[in-house]
């Protein structure tokens, strides 16, 4: 009898993991609380589109579905910065213009990974099943359906059920010394829309991630295949100017005209969107351990939700699937060892990504607007060009390689130390030379 896995959650990572486990010949039952996304329901409450990069593409390639996903993707080659006067500055992501991140629709990606899982006859997907509790020692999941309770038992249960994971909550309640930490940003987010032009054309540069950096807050926009853009406003929940104080249509109009004047004419449904779309919160979750004996494991946001500012949450969740699959292959007869190895290979990297994502919020909303930032990016690209393979900017390591996140973060600190140390040394040398020159002239 093949090992039977019960997967809870068929979001982005759940569908992909179902496909990986199905490919290995395991018996898989995947339970999702929502209805089938292929029946047209939108994955509500989360971003409409998101950026997939090297790590996510690698995970999709291993299953042969990367082209299927990328066929509908829009490459974004850099950041298009919109300042308050409407001036635009383009900052490429990498010295190599071919390196880009890709904007894809969440619903289309979700559908593709679920289809990929269902290509294996040993994978079954059950929608409208909400997990309420898990028996951690017996690997049994209790689920609610429209017609009553269902019990699903297997050899192991994997929680791929997102940041507010029911599987993790069972672990939090039942495992003594389970480590858990959640922290919310003071900012929330709201999605808004820029529709295509009257002739169905793009109203801004399509191959860029647009940013309106405004120091303590920002708006971004990612392109969609129908020539529209999805904008996301990241703004304080509370404060003198915030979601809390912006109540009337006039408040919204005034705020947007003041802060994003070039975007307002492109957003005909701004007032309705602002009123109707929910304001989401941004959470970082760290926990340990991500497994319990050979019975339970956590994957993706259930184990490590991060704020979205590095565009890596889903990429990291996909990388989890690759690593868990590798560990199960390395220890086919010892699942507990496989789970332990998966946890030890991923935990440090998930923690590093959580920090990088928060740091990048400050970079995006504040530093991208400055000349110093643009000069630093140019220096980064110059050094990358002069020292290929030796100097790699942090963004490049995180986004365009599969180097472990923790290694990338350490290497960036080391590189920065050398670059800034050298610049400081050169500065001192120039200063001393100038003083010497001055003395010669004076005396």
Residues that bind ligand FAD (CB under 6 A): 8-14, 31-34, 46-47, 50-51, 130-131, 160-162, 166, 189, 232, 280, 300-302, 308, 311-315, 317
Q: How far apart are CA 405 and CA 346, in angstroms?
A: 9
For the chain, what's the residue count?
Answer: 443
CB of 234 or CB of 260, closer to ligand FAD: 234
The 3-class SS string of 40-59 reads: CCCCCCCCCEEEECHHHHHH
CB of 196 or CB of 280, closer to ligand FAD: 280
CB of 22 or CB of 308, closer to ligand FAD: 308
Maximum CA pair distance of the chain?
Answer: 97
CB contact at 8 A, 286 and 301: no
CB of 34 or CB of 347, closer to ligand FAD: 34
- Cα three-residue angle 119-122-123, rounded to 5 degrees: 65
Burial of 226 (0-12, 13-18, 19+ CB in 10 A): exposed
CB of 160 or CB of 296, closer to ligand FAD: 160
The residues facing 411 across adjacent strands are none
CB of 311 to ligand FAD, least distance (A): 4
CB of 153 to ligand FAD, least distance (A): 16
CB of 51 or CB of 192, closer to ligand FAD: 51
CB of 170 to ligand FAD, least distance (A): 10
CB of 187 or CB of 295, closer to ligand FAD: 187
CB of 75 to ligand FAD, least distance (A): 14
CB of 171 or CB of 317, closer to ligand FAD: 317
CB contact at 8 A, 264 and 192: no
CB of 85 to ligand FAD, least distance (A): 28
CB of 135 to ligand FAD, least distance (A): 15
CB of 433 to ligand FAD, least distance (A): 48
CB of 274 to ligand FAD, least distance (A): 16
CB of 48 to ligand FAD, least distance (A): 9
CB of 195 or CB of 280, closer to ligand FAD: 280
CB of 8 or CB of 296, closer to ligand FAD: 8
State the angle between helix axes of 54-62 and 313-330 in degrees (0 to 180), rounded to the nearest 10.
40
Q: How many C-beta atoms surround the C-beta of residue 420 within 10 A?
A: 10
CB of 298 or CB of 383, closer to ligand FAD: 298
CB of 255 to ligand FAD, least distance (A): 20
CB of 8 or CB of 21, closer to ligand FAD: 8
Closest CB to ligand FAD belongs to which residue? 11
CB of 293 to ligand FAD, least distance (A): 21
Which two three-digit tokens encode residue 146? 């429209």
CB of 200 to ligand FAD, least distance (A): 25
């Amino acid at each position: 009898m093949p090992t039977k896995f019960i997967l809870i959650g068929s979001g982005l990572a759940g569908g992909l993991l179902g496909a990986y486990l199905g490919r290995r010949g395991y018996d898989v039952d995947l339970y999702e609380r929502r209805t089938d996304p292929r029946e047209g329901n939108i994955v509500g409450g989360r971003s409409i589109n998101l950026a997939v990069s090297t790590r996510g593409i690698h995970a999709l390639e291993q299953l042969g579905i990367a082209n299927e996903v990328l066929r509908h993707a829009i490459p974004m080659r850099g950041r298009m910065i919109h300042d308050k006067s409407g001036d635009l500055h383009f900052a490429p992501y990498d010295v190599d213009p071919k390196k880009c991140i890709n904007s894809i629709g969440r619903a289309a990606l979700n559908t593709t990974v679920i289809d990929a899982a269902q290509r294996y006859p040993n994978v079954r997907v059950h929608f409208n099943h909400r997990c309420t509790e898990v028996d951690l020692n017996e690997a049994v999941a209790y689920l609610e359906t429209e017609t009553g309770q269902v019990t699903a038992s297997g050899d192991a249960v994997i929680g791929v059920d997102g940041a507010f994971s029911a599987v993790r909550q069972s672990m939090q309640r039942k495992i003594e010394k389970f480590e858990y930490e959640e922290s919310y940003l003071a900012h929330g987010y709201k999605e808004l829309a820029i529709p295509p032009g009257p002739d169905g054309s793009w109203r801004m540069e399509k191959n860029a991630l647009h940013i309106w950096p405004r120091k303590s807050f920002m708006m971004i926009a990612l392109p969609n295949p129908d020539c529209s853009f999805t904008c996301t406003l990241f703004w304080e929940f509370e404060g003198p100017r915030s979601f809390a104080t912006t109540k009337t249509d006039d408040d919204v109009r005034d705020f947007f005209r003041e802060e994003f004047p070039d975007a307002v004419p492109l957003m005909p449904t701004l007032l309705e969107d602002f009123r109707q779309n929910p304001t989401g919160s941004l959470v970082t979750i760290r926990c340990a351990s991500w497994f319990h004996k050979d019975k339970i494991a956590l994957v993706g946001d259930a184990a490590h939700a991060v704020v979205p500012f590095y565009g890596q949450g889903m990429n990291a969740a996909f990388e989890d699937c690759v690593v868990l699959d590798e560990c199960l292959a390395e220890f086919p007869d010892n699942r507990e060892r496989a789970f332990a190895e998966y946890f030890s290979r991923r935990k440090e990297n998930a923690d590093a990504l959580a920090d990088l994502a928060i740091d990048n919020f400050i970079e995006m909303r504040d530093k991208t607007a400055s000349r110093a930032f643009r000069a630093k990016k140019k220096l980064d690209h110059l050094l990358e060009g002069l020292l290929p393979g030796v100097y790699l900017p942090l963004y490049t390591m995180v986004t365009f390689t599969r180097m472990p996140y923790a290694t990338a973060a350490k290497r960036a600190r080391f590189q920065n130390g050398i670059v800034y140390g050298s610049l400081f040394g050169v500065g001192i040398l120039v200063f001393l030379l100038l003083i010497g020159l001055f003395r010669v002239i004076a005396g």
